[in-house]
């Protein structure tokens, strides 16, 4: 459901001069891609605009146009707060709840500017004035493409904007292979390619830039850490803080790891548990109608999409694993 019309959104943008764009904690390709695409677009409209992120993004997204202008709340708290307070309009991209931006949410909740949620996650919270939300969109970048076209500004989609949108479409669809991909996805891609972007270059920039440690961590996880639950089509990894440190873990280094066990015939649910200093960060993936969004919400303080969700646990890594083994059986 894309609740608010282009006419209403156009008016909201036209009436605003200073604008913020916020995306979620641990921003991924869709988060940064959609934010920077909208950023460039609003710049063309001559707006004072800044992208604000709650924490750093992975270095494989540093090549993206506009990335140097992003404000990281963890590094420039006061500057971010000031910008939010003077904003006439605040876009929140690729997340559906203040919980997803951690401490930045406490500041956002106090700001007076109307919020525009642009997102494709299940069950959005009710904080925004305007909604451009669709769970059937393969990515927030798809929504940004539709928004720009809907505002009658398709001509502004140049190589820079196209590269950003392409990145989010690519990363959120597992390089165009998830069930969320349909003919519309490819129609958008065809339009983006007309700007002159080169898909193989973008793919290479995002995926072919592992550090040696990252590839070794992947190999270690697959050969030493993958477990299959006896009698269930479930595979998972638990990586302790110590193990991650052994491989000089950097943000984004385990992205994609959770999906590997799907290569095993019959596997329907995969999970990854990464222990950090303060909590265990969890990723869930599923096939078909198995709903890991509901599962993450119910048992792991999280959410996401039906087939891709995340969550957190304050228990120890071992207790989290025991809890997961118990609860995951309820899915079958």
| Binding residues vs ligand 5GP (CB under 6 A) | 24, 97, 100, 121, 283, 302-305, 308-312
Three-class SS state of 131: strand
Q: Which is nearer to ligand 5GP, 95 or 145 (CB)?
A: 95
Report yes or no: 250 and 234 within 8 Å, Cβ to Cβ.
Answer: no
| Footprint of Mn ion on 92-151 (CB under 5 A) | 94, 139-140
H/E stretch holding 308 reads: strand 308-313
Angle between helix 159-172 and helix 29-44 axes, rounded to 10 deg: 160
Q: How far apart are CA 157 and CA 316, in angstroms?
A: 47
Q: How far apart are CA 245 and CA 198, in angstroms?
A: 36
Which partner, Mn ion, ligand 5GP, none, binds residue 146 by CB below 5 to 8 Å per kind? none
Q: How far apart are CA 118 and CA 150, in angstroms?
A: 14
Residue 329 makes CB contacts below 8 A (sequence gap 6+) with 229, 232
User: Which residue is at the shortest CB distance from ligand 5GP?
Assistant: 310
Which partner, Mn ion, ligand 5GP, none, binds residue 29 by CB below 5 to 8 Å per kind? none
Which partner, Mn ion, ligand 5GP, none, binds residue 50 by CB below 5 to 8 Å per kind? none
Q: Which is nearer to Mn ion, 172 or 253 (CB)?
A: 172
- Exactly one of 30, 243, 255, 275 binds Mn ion (CB under 5 A); that residue is 30
Q: How far is the CB of 299 from Mn ion (least distance, A)?
A: 22
Residue 18 vs residues 67, 89, 125, 236: alpha-carbon distances, Å: 19, 7, 24, 45
Report yes or no: 259 and 174 within 8 Å, Cβ to Cβ.
Answer: yes
Q: Which is nearer to ligand 5GP, 87 or 283 (CB)?
A: 283
Residue 310 vs residues 219, 251, 252: alpha-carbon distances, Å: 23, 16, 14
Which partner, ligand 5GP, Mn ion, none, binds residue 308 by CB below 5 to 8 Å per kind? ligand 5GP
- Exactly one of 172, 243, 255, 291 binds Mn ion (CB under 5 A); that residue is 172
Q: Which is nearer to Mn ion, 30 or 146 (CB)?
A: 30
Q: How far is the CB of 148 from Mn ion (least distance, A)?
A: 17
Q: Which is nearer to ligand 5GP, 58 or 197 (CB)?
A: 58
| Footprint of Mn ion on 238-277 (CB under 5 A) | none
Q: How far is the CB of 308 from ligand 5GP (least distance, A)?
A: 4
Q: Residue 56 burial by CB count (10 A; 0-12/13-18/19+): exposed, middle or buried?
A: middle
Which partner, Mn ion, ligand 5GP, none, binds residue 185 by CB below 5 to 8 Å per kind? none
Residue ranges that bind Mn ion, judged by CB under 5 A? 30, 94, 139-140, 172
């Amino acid at each position: 459901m894309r609740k608010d019309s282009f006419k209403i959104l156009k008016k909201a943008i036209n009436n605003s001069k200073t604008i913020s764009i916020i995306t979620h904690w641990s921003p991924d390709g869709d988060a940064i891609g959609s934010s920077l695409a909208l950023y460039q677009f609003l710049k063309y409209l001559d707006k004072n605009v800044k992208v604000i992120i709650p924490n750093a993004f992975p270095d494989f997204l540093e090549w993206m146009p506009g990335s140097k202008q992003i404000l990281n709340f963890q590094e420039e708290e006061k500057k971010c707060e000031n910008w939010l307070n003077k904003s006439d309009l605040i876009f929140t991209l690729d997340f559906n709840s203040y919980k997803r931006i951690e401490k930045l949410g406490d500041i956002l909740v106090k700001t007076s500017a109307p919020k525009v949620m642009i997102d494709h996650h299940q069950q959005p919270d009710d904080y925004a004035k305007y909604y451009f939300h669709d769970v059937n969109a393969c990515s927030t970048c798809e929504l940004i493409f539709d928004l720009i076209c809907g505002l009658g500004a398709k001509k502004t989609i140049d190589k820079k904007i196209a590269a950003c949108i392409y990145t989010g479409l690519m990363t959120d669809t597992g390089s165009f292979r998830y069930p969320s991909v349909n003919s519309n996805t490819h129609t958008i891609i065809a339009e983006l390619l007309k700007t002159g972007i080169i898909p193989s270059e973008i793919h290479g920039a995002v995926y072919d830039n592992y550090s040696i440690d990252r590839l070794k961590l992947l190999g270690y996880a697959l050969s030493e850490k993958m477990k299959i639950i006896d009698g269930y089509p479930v595979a998972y990894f638990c990586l302790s803080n110590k193990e991650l440190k052994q491989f000089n873990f950097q943000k984004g280094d385990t992205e994609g790891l959770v999906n590997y066990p799907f290569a095993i015939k019959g596997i329907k649910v995969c999970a990854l548990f990464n222990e950090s200093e303060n909590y265990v960060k969890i990723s869930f993936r599923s096939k078909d109608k198995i709903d890991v969004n509901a599962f993450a919400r119910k048992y792991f303080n999280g959410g996401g999409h039906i087939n891709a969700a995340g969550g957190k646990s304050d228990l120890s890594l071992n207790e989290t694993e025991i809890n997961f083994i118990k609860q995951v059986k309820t899915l079958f």
